[in-house]
Each structure stands twice: as C-alpha cells, then as structure tokens.
Chains A and B, each alone.
Chain A
C-alpha cells in the first residue's frame, strides 16, 4: 500500500510540497484550518470582495496567481481538507476537527508547514480595542477591505512595518506615523547582507519612499511607547526619541516586531529544538532539506525559520524531496539549485535580523503595572514577583506558578517577553532556556465538540 503523506498547512510551503509529491506520483492529504488555500501572504479575500491580484498582493501579484493556480490544478490529485484543524499529535496519529467532527488520522510521513504569527513586545495599553498586530492590520485590509482605525499609527520594527503602512496609505487609509524601535545605524549594518536579494531590498526602499510621498513621518529609535486610551478605545500614542517626548492622536495602532514560527505541532511531534541565534528564538533542529530530529517528520517554511514567502516555497519543495528521498524515490527536480537559493534566503534573513532587532530592552523595561499576559491580565510586576519568590529559572516552571504562557494563546504573544524578563531576573540566559511546552489542543476548541463526540462514541 502507498504510504500516507500528510501536509499540514496550505500556504506557499505546503502547496509546493504537495505539488512535488503529486509530480512524484503520490496523493498527499493536505490539511488547513482556513476555508481557502494560500496561507498568510497569499490569503484570498472573502466572497464578494474579490479585487484584482495587483491590488491585493502588490508586487507579488504574479507569484500569488501562480501559487493559487498550482493549487487549483492539483484538484483531486490531493486529498484536500480545508476548515480542518490539527490540534494534537500522538506518535503517528494526528488529532483533528472540522468544527463538527473530531477524528484521528494516521500518517506515515508528515510535513508541517504551519507558518508564523506576529512577534510582539508588549507596550503599556496594548490590550485596548483598536490595537492590533501588524499582521492583523494587514488581514483587515486584505481579507476584509477595512482599516483597523480612522487614524492609524504603526509601531514596531521589521519588513512588515513599512509594508503594512504603505499598503494602508495606498488603500486610502489615514496613517498618522510609523514608529520604528530600530535605529538608522542598525539598518545600515543590515544592508550588506540584505543585498543578497537585491530585488527585495529595492522594493523595501521603494516602500519607504512611498511613505514619504504620502507625507507619513517615519521615526527611528523610538522608546517608552505608551498607547493612550480609556480601556474601551485608543485615543493616542506617546513615545520618546532622542530624549524628547512626542505625542500623536490616533484611534488605531498596528504593532509587531517581525514574526515568530508556529512550532506547537513540531513540539508535540517530539522534534528537538535549539536556540536560533538569527531569529533569537527557539527553533526546531532541521537539516538543509527540512528533516527534523524525528524520522518521517519534515518541517518547511515560516514554521521553522522566517525566510519569507519565496523561502517558504523553496523549503516546501525541499521537504517533499527529502520525504521522497527517504522513501527511496527520486525527487522530480534537481535539488542543488534549490539548496543554493536557500543559502541566499538565509543570508537575507540575517540582514533583516541585524537591521530590525527585537527590542529586548523594551521587554525587560516593561513597567510593573503594564499587562504582560493579555489572556489572563497578568502584569509584568506580578510576573517578576512570582519568579523571585519561587526562584524559577526556566520558563515552564515560571509559567505554572505565574500562569504567564498558560492562557488561551499558549504563550504566542507573551512567550518571547517572559523569557527575556526571566533572563534578567535570575533565570537562565536566553540561549539556554527551553521553549514553553505546548499542550493539545494547540488552539482552544468548543467544549461542544468533545461532548458531542463523546456521546457519539458512547452511543
């Protein structure tokens, strides 16, 4: 019998992996929780909101069209299961649900291409209505045709900061300012490495220029950022730059510091992790092709290292090739060229990391009264007090005592911050801290599902 290969994620990485497996004569299962394929960057809009690809994807329109076309032609040569979420893994079983039904699916080989979410540094006031992640701000625009506010400010650092601000301006939204916590000097240091992908670098510079054309101020080196409001709405933003305090009025804030990999499923599958000095987060150990430490588990795309959409497509092909190689089947294309491409992508990613560093000091300086964990409304002060009292030195113990990282988001938005606060309060250095251990379900699911399905089994 043919082996069952399951791909989780129908973004650029998962789609290219599926294409390669089909070319090699297999019929993989492709699972994605979304209604439509495409993943994050090539997300398709809601029905009735279809717009030309040029409007939705800008300079990436051709790539978006190509990827969507590939997926659409795969048709019945794959076993596609949209609206289906994998919420846990035990040995060779995936635990999944489609909103109505819970079921398990056996796999022989597994390719995880689960993407990324925004990396956040909390700033006082960040839980108020009107504050969204940069990715969220982009989704509001791409998928819903809306701006997150009537007058929006963007805060953070990384390629998405300029991109989303420019997309908002182009769509006719009012952008008050873009505040970058990185410095001009850091950007200059990253440039030589970013030159590994001159086209992308040029596009970034053009986006910056488009902000200038719209008279949107771009301020670097900002600190002491506070989002003002009354708990039900945002009214403004305050920050300091070069020792001076500044202020603007706004009702929407988009914030983010590049991305973090979605690694929960790889962790549940038992893959080994280690410190990634480029992303400055824990990342799964993989070889050049995407083989994890677990036999028959392959990892691709943003869920391993943040290399962007092109990197995700290349990694998808490579993970499929590795999977085929391990079945002693030839890859349907030569891999040497793809491996060389990946080197360029990694070089560029090092440049990005240098140019737009994650602001450790903003995390460790978070005022005691500010919320660190938005799920359970735990302040930075409470977290510091708990780790001091319990002498916690690693994040999982700190989590069980403080509940930071234990809430509904499972540490997606507080994990990086908590790790940094722990490191300067008697905990292990960042590079030695293990990641937060995830638990199934990797996202909350309705109790109704468990109840209904328990009745089904019992009856």
Chain B
C-alpha cells in the first residue's frame, strides 16, 4: 500500500495535534478534524460493512447517509462525520458496527 489514498489535507491551519488510535495503532490528526477526517487522513475506513461487501467510509459528510457510524473501544458509537476527534479516542474499524436506533 504505497500509493496514498484517503483524504488529502490542503489547508493545515494553525492547529494542535491530536493523538488517538485506530485498531490499536497510534496515529495523529489535527484539532478541528472530524473523526471521519481523522480516519481518512490516516487512510482508514470507518467500519466493515455488516453485509460483507467491504469497508465503508461515509458518503454524505452531512449526517444524512448514516454510513459513517464508528465504534470506540469503550463501546460508544458515533457518527464520524459530525463528531470532532479527541485525544485518546480508541477507534475500532475492523468490526462491523451495528447501529442501534429506535424504530428499526
């Protein structure tokens, strides 16, 4: 995997470094990044599709498609495109993340 993929940062801005981990690997992002941006900058997806069709990394970036739900090691689930990344977050992308929501 030498060819870069994922988001490319064009405007770094003057921001603090955030340290977090993806599937146990320590990685970095910048304050103000959404969890999804933080994942994509590090070439990671958000989750593995529970239907076995590969991985998913969001689609709409505006909270509408629900394809970016991620699971944290502590069990929290969140919409990655709408949640700012925080120091110490432990994100698990290798598990299918079954979103719980009422009415389903």
Partner-B contacts on A (CB < 8 A): 33, 40, 46-49, 51, 117-118, 127-133, 135-137, 139-141, 144-150, 171-173, 230-234, 251, 262, 371, 374-377, 407-409, 412-413, 439-441, 443-447, 450
A145 with B12: in contact, given A232-B55, A445-B102 (CB under 8 Å)? yes
State the 8 A-B residue pairs at the shortest beta-carbon distance, nearest first: A231-B54, A145-B11, A377-B51, A129-B57, A444-B101, A408-B66, A136-B61, A46-B32
Taking a contact as CB atoms closer than 8 A, the residue among A147, A232, A374 that contacts B7 in the complex is A147
Min CB–CB distance B58 → chain A (angstroms): 7
Contact A446 B77 (CB under 8 A): yes
9 more CB-based (< 8 A) A-B contacts, given A46-B33, A129-B55: A49-B15, A128-B54, A136-B59, A136-B62, A377-B52, A409-B64, A409-B65, A412-B65, A446-B101
* Contact partners of A251 in chain B: CB under 8 A: 3-6
State whether B51 touches A413 (Cβ < 8 A).
no
- Across the interface, which residues of A come within 8 angstroms of B15, CB to CB? 48-49
Nearest-neighbor residue (CB-CB) of A378 within chain B: B51
Min CB–CB distance B38 → chain A (angstroms): 10
Say whether A129 contacts B61, CB under 8 Å: no
- Minimum distance in angstroms from A209 CB to a CB of chain B: 22
Q: List 16 A-B contacts (CB under 8 A).
A: A129-B56, A132-B58, A145-B13, A146-B9, A251-B4, A251-B5, A374-B67, A375-B66, A408-B66, A413-B65, A441-B102, A443-B63, A444-B66, A444-B101, A445-B101, A447-B102
Say yes or no: is B42 at the interface (Cβ < 8 Å to chain A). Answer: no
Closest to B33 in A: A144
Return chain B residues, CB-CB under 8 Å to A146.
Answer: 7-11, 37, 40-41
Tell me whether A140 and B7 are in contact in the complex, defined as CB-CB below 8 angstroms, given that A129-B55, A444-B101 are known contacts: yes
Q: Determine whether the beta carbon of B61 is less than 8 Å from that of A140.
A: yes
Q: Mark B28-46, 1 if CB is under 8 A from A, else 0.
A: 0011111001001100011
Q: Which residue of A lies closest to B45 (CB)?
A: A129
- Answer whether A130 and B57 are a contact pair too, CB < 8 Å, given A148-B7, A440-B103: yes
Nearest neighbor of B53 in chain A, beta-carbon distance: A377
Residues of A within 8 A of B53 (CB): 127, 231, 371, 377
Q: Looking at the assembled complex, report how far the CB atom of A207 sits from the nearest CB atom of chain B, in whole angstroms.
A: 19
B87 → chain A, closest Cβ, in Å? 15
A435 CB → nearest B CB, Å = 16
Query: Nearest CB to that of A376 among chain B residues?
Result: B51
Q: With A173-B10, A232-B54 given, is the CB distance from A127 to B102 under 8 Å?
A: no
- Is the Cβ of B84 less than 8 Å from the Cβ of A46? yes
Task: Decide: A48 near B13, CB < 8 A? Known: A131-B59, A146-B8.
Answer: yes
Across-interface contacts of B46 in A (CB, < 8 A): 129
Set of chain B residues within 8 Å of A133, measured between Cβ atoms? 59-61, 65
Q: Say yes or no: is B100 at the interface (Cβ < 8 Å to chain A).
A: yes
Chain A residues lying within 8 Å of B25, measured Cβ to Cβ, are none
Q: Which residues of A have CB within 8 Å of B7?
A: 140, 144, 146-149
The smallest beta-carbon distance between B42 and chain A, in angstroms, is 12
User: Is B49 among interface residues, defined by CB-CB distance under 8 A?
Assistant: yes
Give the distance to chain B from A248, nearest Cβ to Cβ, in Å: 15
* Min CB gap B15→A, angstroms: 4
Q: How far is the CA of A23 from the CA of B81 in the complex (A)?
A: 36
Q: Which chain B positions have C-beta within 8 A of A407?
A: 66
**Chain A residues in 8 Å Cβ range of B8:** 146-147, 149-150, 173
- Whether B59 lies near A374 (C-beta < 8 A) is yes
Chain B, Cβ-Cβ closest to A377: B51
Q: Which residues from A are CB-within-8-Å of B10?
A: 141, 145-147, 171-173
Q: Pick from A144, A172, A173 the residue with the most CB of B within 10 Å.
A: A144
CA distance A426 to B27 in the complex (A): 53
Please indicate the chain A residues that have their CB under 8 angstroms from the CB of B56 in the complex: 127, 129, 374
| Contact present for B59 and A232 (CB under 8 Å) | no
**Chain B residues with CB below 8 A from A374, complex form:** 56, 59, 65, 67
B14 at interface by CB-CB < 8 Å: yes
In angstroms, Cα B10 to Cα A107, docked, is 44
Residues of A within 8 A of B33 (CB): 46, 144
Give the docked Cα–Cα distance between A251 and B43 (Å).
11
Residues of B within 8 A of A136 (CB): 58-62, 81
Closest residue of chain B to A379 (Cβ to Cβ) is B53
Task: Provide the residues of chain A in CB contact with B37, threshold 8 Å.
Answer: 140, 144, 146
Chain B residues positioned under 8 Å from A137 (CB to CB): 61
Name the distance in Å between B7's Cβ and chain A's nearest Cβ. Answer: 4
How far does the alpha carbon of A407 sit from the alpha carbon of B67 in the complex, in Å? Answer: 11
Q: Which residues of A contact B54 (CB under 8 A)?
A: 127-129, 230-232
Chain A residues with Cβ below 8 Å from B14 are: 48
User: Which residues of A are found within 8 Å of B55, using beta-carbon distances?
Assistant: 128-129, 231-232
Residue contact B66 to A409, C-beta cutoff 8 Å: yes
B63 contacts A33, C-beta separation under 8 Å:
yes
